[in-house]
Amino acid sequence: MKISKGSKIVIALVLFIGGLFAAFYYLFAPKTIQSKTNPKGSHTATLVRHQGIDVNFKVLADGERVYYSPDFAPVEFDFREQIAWDKTGNIIILEVAGKRLFAYDAEQKRQLTDSELLSVEYTPFSEYWYEGKLPEEQKR
């Protein structure tokens, strides 16, 4: 079967556009940064990064979206984004560059207020029974 010149051009255009779409999706597709199950094993939190014109972070609790951040400028810094469970294992906290931005109580299925967010406590380091040696400056 002979393919006409016009058909070859259409096929080439479709492949080219498909390749552009695939490259665009690869560059700007949401990326899962972290997924953590709480210590009790009863809830899972996931942090997703959306990078396009701006940078946004999405937090999911047990598969449901509970937070989508305002825009961050697409700077070339390490955002140091992370999620962490509080000492009760019920509250997930989103931190970016060491700042707490959001907290969600997975048991009560509600976002914490700003004052609640700032008062959430983590498990103290001493309770991890670390057997290594800390750097000298941290012993103070």
Per-residue pLDDT tens for 16-38?
665 555 445 445 689 999 999 99
Position of tokens 């800390």?
134
pTM to 2 decimals? 0.77
pLDDT at 25: 47
Are 5 and 12 within 8 A, CB to CB? no
Is the Cβ–Cβ distance between 76 and 58 less than 8 Å? no
Tokens 């597709």, located at residue: 29
Six-digit token pair at 75?
């700077």
- Token readout for 27 is 């560059």
Domain range annotation of the chain: 30-139
Distance of CA 125 to the CA centre of its chain: 24
Per-residue pLDDT at 59 exceeds 80? yes
The answer to whether residues 33 and 21 touch, using CB atoms and an 8 Å cutoff, is no
What does the pLDDT read at residue 140? 56
Segment 12-17 mean pLDDT: 69
Whole-number average pLDDT of the chain? 89
pLDDT grade for 139, boundaries at 50, 70 and 90: low
